[in-house]
Structure 1
Amino acid sequence: MADLHSTQPILRTLMSWLALEDMARFEDARGNAGALLQRRLDDVLEAGYDGVQFDVVFTSDQLAHCRQRGLGIAATGRVNHPEEAGPLAERLADAGFPCATLHVGWGMESPDEAARLIEAVLTASDRHPIPLFIETHRATIFQDAWRTVDFLARYPQVRINGDFSHWYTGLEFVYGGFENKLRFIEPVLERVRFLHGRIGNPGCMQVDIGDGDETAHPYVTHFRMLWTRAMEQFLRQSEPGGSLFFVPELLSPKIYYGRTFPDENGVLREECDRWAQSLVLRGLAQQCFAEAKRRVDAGSGRVR
């Protein structure tokens, strides 16, 4: 777990509550909501995570059990219309969430409509106050790298949740040169304060990466580059004790994220153990953070 009393900028790793849905690990506790809640949180704590990211249907019981275990929290939500941003931010701030990631819009908005959404999120974040990180996600106003960079030029105060598998696969980042794309999205990487951990390849946005071996899974190298560069920028800009959040978010086959393949009996099984893969992703993120810190220290950046 991260040292929350450190004066140095830190990486805080949380587990996604959505990712725990339908995990085989908790199959034996299904049918007993109270036991399932406690089992999940106990395992999150034992695995060394700093907390949990909940969606907007969180309960007071969930938050109370997190507090009892010393687990931190974060939230995720959606803003479809400008008038929704304020009430959502107020509700999350009142519940004690220190920050939230947001899907904003559906991606079909005109430039003016998207601008009003961004302005509403920024106003809500300032008014309540709670940091609101707009996510790079399909079916949102930030589903496209060009549009995101363009809006960041207009609204440089926006901060980002980088869920880069949506872009890596959906925008085929290797087509036309990955390094070219990396340079182009530098304004995005400069503003990342939250990362959703999921690795895709050029054809599928959530894949098994085994133990993270880059020879067997060359696209892992690209995600390490994305995460490390974003972490470098965070470290150069962060105030003492600032936090960057990393949340493995390997989602269920029921919503068509996790892939399934037939076993020897023709029964569809998940491609991987999502709990174990989440730990692999967390380990990669921690390695990236250490490398980012080394680079910043070597370059006389802010961190020492």
Structure 2
Amino acid sequence: MNFCKSSYDPATLPPRLQVHQSWWAMRGIGDERGEWSLEKKIANIAEAGYSGIMGRLPAPEEAELWRKLLDQYQLEFGIEAFPEDPDEFGTFLQEAKEFGVSYVNAQVKDSFVVGDAAVKRLSGIIQEGKKWNIPVFVETHRGRITQDLLRTVEYAEALPDLRFTIDFSHYVLAGEMLTSQERAEDCFQQLLKRTSCIHGRISNGQQIQVDIGPAGEHPMTERFLAWWKQGMKNWRQEAQHGDVLPFVCELGPVPYAIDRYGFCTNKMEEISNRWEQGLVLKQLALQAWREVQEDDEAGF
């Protein structure tokens, strides 16, 4: 089974959730003095209580600084990848291994690869992850090989070792599903059985990323929380001591974030505070994990 291993926690610890912040979500984040520096962003991520960052493999000229800061703040580091050719992906994984990456979130190219060709490509990517002993999770994402719900279920049925980064915001948007219909819900539950990572973002069937309010008051929050909790529960049933489930708060900048024209500033402005919204998602994830733990302890 393909699970993320923590570099800092001993393998004797029970299976646990770690909340990570997306580096993409930090784009443009700052204060009245401007966007924070790389160093300040990482310091603030650690101070806010995140356990790690999901970003991209640093460029060679930045690798030493990134490694220093990650070690200084004891942050896990997962990375995004956009693989197409399994052999080329193997070379990428070698670099990731050398840097000390905890896991790889793979948005596999592309949405026009289907059927047996898609299964073959995914199988090759899975095998490369095993070869380099790096957990590789395929993200449920629009515009990728996992373009839609139905074909992704077929891939899961064909590949028992296929593990997912669950991000149902894409399917809710692509299917214009304001609520989960019965047939769609059956498919969602099939994918949740392969949960190895969760991306925290809520969509409403028309926007990929909505502001859920200061305490998650948005009506779609409950639906997404139910999916996240089921994914957590499924993961716990198979996890071993030392295993980690990353929950990544992944609120992207414009055009993911909704913007509007500011008549006072004469420029486009985001309608949400992505940093604050990420902290709301963080608290929701931790609460969901506590509830799953309590249910397991109670035998539910």
Q: Normalization by structure 1: what TM-score? A: 0.89
Separation in 2, partners of 1:158, 1:134? 7
Structure 1, unpaired ranges of 5+ = 31-35
Confirm whether residue 16 of structure 1 aligns to residue 22 of structure 2.
Answer: yes
Correspondences of 1:1-150 after superposition (within 5 Å): 4-5=9-10, 7-25=13-31, 28=34, 36-58=37-59, 59-60=62-63, 61-150=65-154
Of structures 1 and 2, the one with the larger relative CO (CA 8 A, separation 6+) is 2
Deviation at 1:23, TM superposition (A): 1.7
Q: What per-residue deviation string (whole Å, max 9, x for no partner) do you get for residues 177-228 of structure 1?
A: 43542222222101111111111111101011112344xx211111101101
Aligned residues: 289
| Aligned-partner Cα distance in 2 for 1:98–1:18 | 17
- Structure 2: gaps spanning 5 or more residues: 1-5
Q: 1:27–1:195: structure 2 CA closer, same or farther, 3 Å change rule? A: farther
In structure 2, the residue matched to 1:284 is 284
C-alpha change, 1:26 and 1:88, in structure 2 (3 Å) is: farther
Q: Secondary structure of the residue that 2:212 maps to in structure 1?
A: coil
Query: Corresponding residue for 1:189?
Result: 192
- Give the deviation of 1:295 after TM superposition: 2.2
**In the superposition, relative to structure 1, how do residues 179 and 245 fare at CA in structure 2: closer, same or farther (>3 Å)?**
farther
* Partner Cα separation in structure 1 for residue 55 and residue 192 of structure 2: 24
| Distance change in 2, residues 1:207/1:27 (3 Å) | farther
The runs of at least 4 consecutive aligned structure 1 residues that moved more than 4 Å come to none
- Give the C-alpha shift of residue 299 in structure 1: 2.5
2-side partners of 1:291 and 1:136: how far apart? 25
Match of 1:274 in 2: 274
Residues 203 and 27 (structure 1), Cα distance of their counterparts in 2 relative to 1, 3 Å cut: farther
Which amino acid counterpart does residue 189 of structure 1 have in structure 2?
A: L
Query: Aligned to 1:200, which of 200, 203, 207?
Result: 203
Aligned residue number for residue 235 of structure 1: 236
Pair 110,258 (structure 1): closer, same or farther in 2 beyond 3 Å? same
Deviation sequence 1:208-265 (CA, Å, 0-9, x none) = 1112344xx2111111011011001011111123110011111111xx1111113343
Q: Which string of whole-angstrom CA distances, capped at 9 and with x for unpartnered residues, describes residues 28-69 of structure 1?
A: 356xxxxx1111111011101111112134531212211122
How far the C-alpha of 1:106 sits from its partner, in A, is 1.3
1:166 corresponds in structure 2 to 170
Matching residue of 1:33 = none
The separation in 1 between residues aligned to 2:216 and 2:135, in whole angstroms, is 35
CA distance in 1, matches of 2:232, 2:171: 18
In the alignment, the residues of structure 2 paired with residue 40 and residue 197 of structure 1 have an alpha-carbon distance, to the nearest angstrom, of 19
**1:24/1:40 Cα in 2 relative to 1: closer, same or farther (>3 Å)?**
closer
- The letter of the residue matching 2:299 is G
Equivalents in 2 of 1:268, 1:231: separation in Å? 38
**How far, CA to CA, are the matches of 1:198 and 1:25 in structure 2?**
23
User: How big is the shift at 1:298?
Assistant: 2.4
* TM-score using structure 2 length: 0.90
Q: Distance in 1 between matches of 2:28 and 2:293?
A: 36
Within 5 Å, give how 1:251-266 maps onto structure 2. 251-253=252-254, 256-265=255-264
Question: Aligned partner of 1:209: which letter?
Answer: I
Cα distance change on mapping 1:292 and 1:179 into 2, 3 Å: farther
2:3 maps to none
Q: Report the secondary structure of 1:193's partner residue.
A: strand
Query: What amino acid is the match of 1:263?
Result: G
For the structure 1 residues 27 and 117, does the alpha-carbon distance in structure 2 shift closer, same or farther, using more than 3 Å as the test? farther
User: In the aligned structure 2, how far is the partner of 1:290 from the partner of 1:181?
Assistant: 27
For the 8 Å contact 2:20–2:248, the answer to whether it is kept is yes
In the aligned structure 2, how far is the partner of 1:16 from the partner of 1:205?
16
Task: State the match for 2:221 in structure 1.
Answer: 220
Deviations 1:79-130 (A, max 9, x none): 1223322112211112111211000011101312212211111110111110
Alpha-carbon distance, 1:27 to partner: 5.3
